[in-house]
Amino acid sequence: LGKFVKAQGGHTVSSSDILRTSMRTLQIGTTPLVSSRLSYGCMRIAGTWDYSKVTPQLIEAGEVACITAYESGYTLFDQADIYGSTACEEIFGGVLKKVAGMRERILIASKCGIRHDPHRFDFSAEHILRSCDLSLKRMGIDTIDIYQLHRPDLLMNPLDVAEAFAKLHSAGKVRYFGVSNFTPSFVNLLKSACPFPLVVNQVEIHLGRLDCFYDGTLDQCLAEHITPLSWSPLGGGFLGEGGKVSETHPNREGLTKLLQLLDEVAAAHGVTRTVISLSWLLKHPSGIVPIVGSANPDRIRAASKADELELSREEWYRILVAARMEPLP
C-alpha cells in the first residue's frame, strides 16, 4: 500500500508491487465469470454524495480503499452511476489507471436506472444506453462485466430493456446482465422478453432483513442459477463489531440478544462479529456474495476473513432463530 499511496500524479503501480491475497471463488450464474466469495462495494469511496464536496483528500482515501480491497483478494467491484453522484465511478477509474494489470484481474459491475430532479426510475432503452456509455467513460474502460438495473421501474417495458441489452452486448459494452432489488415476479417479467440470462440479483440480505429467505427470491436464485448479491450485509454496520441497537428501536430486546449470540459464536471461533455475520450469509447454497461497503482499510481487510470460516448447520440455525425473534415452526 505504501507504494500505491506514493504513486500520485499519474504514475502507475505494477501489480507485482502489490502483495495480494486470495479468497475462495464461485461462478457467477452460469457464466464463465469467476468471483471472490466477497465483493467490494464502492458506494462510499467518494466520502460524500455531494459531488461538489469531493476533495483531493477524499479521492485519495477512496483510492486507498479500492486498492486495499484488491490487495485483500476481492475481485468483484460493485458500482452504480449514482454513487457519489457519479464520483465513485470516476475515482475507481483513476485506480484502474494507476494499478497496471488490475482491470484484467477483476470483475466490474455497475447499475443504472435511478434518476433525480425529480427522484424516479427509468428503464427506457434510451436511458439505459446513455447511462452505460457514461459509466464506461467515467471508469475509463471498454466493457462492463455485469450491468444491472438498479431498482424496479413500474413503467418498465421488458421489450425496451431487451432492445437496450441487445445493443450493449453486440457493441461489446456489456458482457452479462443482472438486476437489483427485483422481486421474483419482476425477474420473470424481464426474462419473458430478455434475450440474455439474468446472472445476478442484488438485494438487501442480512440477519436484520430475512425477507429474501421467505419471499421466493433466494429460491429463484438457486433454482435458476442467478447469483444473489447481498447489499448492506451487516445491516448498515450494527451487525459488525461495535454495532449497537438504538435505545428507541422497537425490536431492541430481540436485536440485542442476536448481537450477544453473534459475539458468543465469534468468541468460540476466535473471530469478530463481522466475520460471523458474513459467514452466515456465505453458508446459504444459493451462493450469496456479500458486498462489503466499508471505506475503512482495516475493516475491508478484516471482513475478508469471513471467507475462511465455515459455520456448522447447528450454529447457522441458532443464529437464524435469534434473528427471527421467534421459534421455528
What's the half-sphere exposure (Cβ side, CA atoms, 13 Å) at 21? 14
Q: Give Cα separations from 102 to 73, 84, 141, 221 (angstroms).
A: 12, 22, 12, 29
| Whether the Cβ atoms of residue 26 and residue 63 lie closer than 8 Å to each other | no
| Whether the Cβ atoms of residue 75 and residue 35 lie closer than 8 Å to each other | yes
The answer to whether residue 83 is catalytic is: yes
| Whether the Cβ atoms of residue 147 and residue 110 lie closer than 8 Å to each other | yes
| Whether the Cβ atoms of residue 215 and residue 228 lie closer than 8 Å to each other | no
Of 34, 7, 33, 3, which Cα lies nearest the Cα of 19?
3
Segment holding 272, helix H or strand E: none
Please name the residues in contact with 171: beta carbons below 8 A apart, sequence gap of 6 or more. Answer: none
Any idea what the Cα angle at residue 276 is, between residues 272 and 279, rounded to 5°? Answer: 135
> Out of 40, 83, 147, 176, which one is annotated catalytic?
83
| Whether the Cβ atoms of residue 105 and residue 136 lie closer than 8 Å to each other | no
| Angle (deg, nearest 10), helices 87-98 and 125-139 | 40
Cell numbers placing 142: 471498454
| Active site residues per annotation | 83
